[in-house]
Amino acid sequence: MSDGDADGTPKRNFVVPEKLIKSAADMERWEKSEAYYDVLGFISSMAVALQGTRNSQIVSVHPVVEQLSNVLDRLEQLAIETPPIDQPARFGNAAFKNWFQKMQSETLQLLTDALPDTLKDAAKELQVYLVESFGNATRIDYGTGHELAFVMFLMCLFKIGAIERSDEVAVGLKLFQKYIILARKLQVTYRMEPAGSHGVWSLDDFQFIPFIWGSAQLAVNSPIEPAQFVEDKTIDKYKKELMFVGCIDYIRQVKTGHFAEHSNQLWSISAVPQWSKISTGLIKMYQKEVLSKFPVIQHVYFGSILTLQPVKPGTTLPNPRLGMVMRQHTASPAAPMPPKFDTGDEM
């Protein structure tokens, strides 16, 4: 699926996306939609691509990825310029609302500048996903629904051909990792609350995806066994190199007490013998505990890129093969094309 232009295929008409899941009864429509299969396909495809990688490794960075990295730098600078205010309430610093307003007012132009000339009209559609990625300005909270919005933002970039499938590693290591770092800074700076019932749909009160992609990193040539990720010496050594360990380090910084008590699910994961099984297990858990929950999906936006159109009959959900190096990035296509995620059928 591509927008096409010179070859005569119809050009996509970008729109401002809207929320379409209005009640729990709409969840069946969501779970049979192209968008649902696209999301799981994208998460799985990225997991396969990130196997054996390290956060600091040198990768070829697409100009659009570089520009979007600069966008995140700008949003971080806005946070520096918007310090928390003194207030009686311990949590939910009201300065976040000021940061959010600044971020919202700048992102359309920032995205327009970052996109290639042929795709600048997509900025209005992409902006909604990016703005939704940093939390709720009214409740001053953040949860897996906001993280999902950023995953959808990234997936939209691939689907419209702004970046190519050969850019997956750079997107994961440079763009997504920078987003996670920014999200953590916002959570700490503005004392944001976990969305939902105390982060019930996340693994560390706020995030889920970096645990999936972080464990996939370790599915090939891992320097540590799963049982070691809770050890201080392991965390100190690998927190900057490995996404999963970086997540554990963040938990160590913001929580006190025994790890098994405040992060029981992650503690249980440490007993699983293989990283590949951890990653695929977390994808299934994400499907059940995040993508199947109406309180999360009611906030998802749909437009011309991510649609609620029913998926083609016979399409199967992805089953990523982790634990082996896939040679899928050895050659780039002659012309920019959206990725064909492993959903069992074309998107």
What integer pLDDT is reported at residue 22 of this predicted model?
97
**For the purposes of burial, counting CB atoms within 10 Å of the CB of 253, is it exposed (0-12), middle (13-18) or buried (19 or more)?**
exposed
Q: Within 10 Å of residue 335's Cβ, how many Cβ atoms?
A: 10
SS3 content of the chain, % helix, strand, coil (to 5): 50, 5, 45
For the packed helices 275-289 and 209-217, what is the interaxial angle rounded to 10 degrees?
Answer: 160
Q: How far apart are CA 262 and CA 244, in angstroms?
A: 17
Question: Terminus-to-terminus CA distance in the chain, angstroms?
Answer: 6
- Where would I find the beta strands (DSSP E) of 61-155? 141-142
**What's residue 240's pLDDT?**
96
If you count DSSP H runs as helices and E runs as strands, how many of each does the chain have, helices first? 15, 4
Q: Per residue of the chain (347 residues), what is the pLDDT tens digit?
A: 344 444 444 578 999 999 999 999 999 999 999 999 999 999 999 999 999 999 999 999 999 999 999 999 999 999 999 999 999 888 999 999 999 999 999 999 999 999 999 999 999 999 999 999 999 999 999 999 999 999 999 999 999 999 999 999 999 999 999 999 999 999 999 999 998 754 445 677 789 999 999 999 999 999 999 999 989 999 999 999 999 999 999 988 887 777 767 777 888 888 899 999 999 999 999 999 999 999 999 999 999 999 999 999 999 998 888 987 654 443 333 333 444 444 444 33
Q: Which tokens go with 23?
A: 């009640």
Q: What is the pTM of this model?
A: 0.89
Instruction: Identify the residue whose tokens are 């693994």.
Output: 203
3-state secondary structure (DSSP) of residue 310: strand
Report the run of H or E that residue 101 belongs to, with start and end.
Answer: helix 95-114
Indicate the pairing of strand 141-142 with strand 18-19. unpaired
Strands 141-142 and 193-194: parallel
- Identify the pLDDT of residue 266: 85
